[in-house]
Chain A
Amino acid sequence: MRRYTALVSLWFIKALEYRAELVIWAVLTLLNTTILLAIWLSVFRGVSSLQGYQVGQVLQYFLLATVINGITASHFESWRSREVREGKIDHYLTKPIPYPLQVLLADIGNRSFYVLLIVPITLLVYLAFSFHYSLGVLTVSPLILFQCVLLLGVGYLIEFSFAMIAVLLSFWFEGAEGLEHFKWISISLLSGFMIPLEFMPLWMRSLVNLLPLKYMYAVPIQVVQQRTSLGISDLLYIGGFLLLLFALQRWLWHRATLKYTSAG
């Protein structure tokens, strides 16, 4: 266990050393949120509610989405894929911890610092907005809290798995680092990150409801806004999907090691 915490702590130190970069990411994330908020405010100009949303609720929606994004979003696929492609992962492979686990621990260490940075800033922005707009009441009951923590974990695992699959695919394909873009676009559209489900056309809403990505943004926000609650079928669906992702990663990693050791 100690070696795992050592790895996490090492990456936390690294994140501290590269704090300027993380501050930039935090600023950019908030910039993105600010623009989304400005666009939605302009859409709501002159009306009090649209598609069942008050203006304050929409603002709350995107502020919560920023917090979720800060906690769950992974960005390592691009440079990790490059490392694989340039054959720079030998030293990871000689360590007595499997490579995917090293990537996970590194990401947790790195992310811990980022979360410490982005969450308080977003909450401050949230507070600032709450003075001007009625953002809706945040009820914190144990059941809501439990569902939120659970869904944040699920969101992180989905993000991590997608990124890890892209890294593992780079053992075979040069363009794997470009998969980050596919991940970003599909999550933006199909998880409710960029647009609430209620503003989507019917066909798209049915598609989103069918897919598991909604558990990353739309569902946790709806849980906080008390528009929905998780049922047994949701938990089964999430469990099944995560198992599938895990199995896929294991299989890819197994194939990748064979490929790497045979091709050098």
Chain B
Amino acid sequence: MKNTIRKYWSLFWKFRKLRLMLLLEYRGNFWFWTFVSIMWTIFNFFFFDLIIGARGSIAGWNRTEMYVLLSTFTMIDALTWSFFYHVMQEYISSIFDGRMTLTLTRPINPQYLLSIQTNSYTNVPRFLIGLTMMVITLRNGAIPITVWSVLGFVLFYCVSILFVYSIWFIVATFAFWVDRLDNINELVPSTRRVWQAPKEVYTGIVSVIFTVVLPFALISSQPSEILLGKASPYWLIYYTALTFFLFYLSTVFFRFSVRKYSGTAN
């Protein structure tokens, strides 16, 4: 068991190293996409700032609180985009073009291998922007911070990452069941606008969908609420339990779908 963990850990870093080598091969590409990602971050802050300007708040979240939420979103988005977008893209195209063949013959958990094989580093500066914005907002807004609130934030930041991973992996695994669906990988990132808004924005049936059934609205809200001291334990427990259930579901669905895999014949 210890050996297996060591092997999996070392493989994780081996892939990061290989990706770093590739990045150094294509430095121009890296700077270009870094610029694009920073531009998006500025756009997001600016867009919400314009909307907040209309009333001074959105669904009971004032400007400072909205900035905490947007910073959290930026940090989650930077990480999920860096890892999952590329990983899932690779996973889906390997199903469609038959390259999955090689992954499945490896003596290693295929879901793990598929989930770590690639990443980009273009969103690292974006993560740092989010973090910096968070620190500045907390300081300027005079929001009281305790060790527990920071630890809680980090913990639920990780839960959110696991939540996004699980949902994304399940969606990507549907590629086994369709002939060809090139934009299947756009499904989860397209919900990102849901993550950006506080969960109180949604009312009625939309609220039930985005906070209970597919709680995308909790992704940024929950860690932010912990920092702002307004989190509800019921939501936190529900969110955590659902996340672990989804993770379990992703593994079961993957194993089941692999049975269906035919690959391309030649």
Contacts and interface: CB of A to CB of B under 8 A. Distances in A.
Answer yes or no: A and B touching, Cβ < 8 Å.
yes
Interface of A: 18, 20-21, 24-25, 28, 31-32, 34-36, 38-43, 45, 47, 50-51, 174-175, 178, 181-182, 185, 188-189, 194-195, 199-201
Interface of B: 28-29, 32-33, 36, 39-40, 43, 46-47, 50-51, 53-55, 58-59, 178, 180-184, 186-187, 190-191, 193-194, 197, 200-203, 206
B125 to A, nearest CB: 16
B51 A45 contact: no
A168 B172 CA distance: 32
Nearest to B207: A38
A186 B183 CA distance: 23
A31 B203 contact: no
A194 B153 CA distance: 31
B202 A194 contact: no
Given A28-B190, A34-B206, A199 B59 contact: no
A32 B47 CA distance: 14
Is the contact region of chain B dominated by helix, strand, or loop, or is it mixed?
helix
Given A24-B183, A39-B201, A185 B55 contact: no
Nearest to A24: B183
Contact of B58 (A25, A43, A188): A43
A130 B40 CA distance: 33
A31 to B, nearest CB: 6
A181 B41 CA distance: 12
Contact of A35 (B28, B54, B181, B194): B194
Contact of A174 (B28, B39, B46, B190): B28
Contact of A28 (B47, B59, B182, B187): B187
A199 B40 CA distance: 20
A24 B187 contact: yes
A142 to B, nearest CB: 35
A181 B202 contact: no
Contacts of B47: 188-189, 194-195
Contacts of A21: 181-183
B190 A32 contact: yes
B197 A199 contact: no
A238 B63 CA distance: 38
B55 A199 contact: no
A31 B50 contact: no
29 contacts: A18-B182, A20-B181, A21-B182, A24-B186, A28-B187, A32-B190, A34-B206, A35-B197, A36-B193, A38-B202, A39-B197, A40-B51, A42-B59, A43-B51, A43-B58, A50-B55, A51-B54, A174-B28, A175-B29, A175-B32, A175-B33, A178-B33, A181-B36, A181-B40, A185-B40, A189-B47, A195-B47, A199-B54, A201-B53
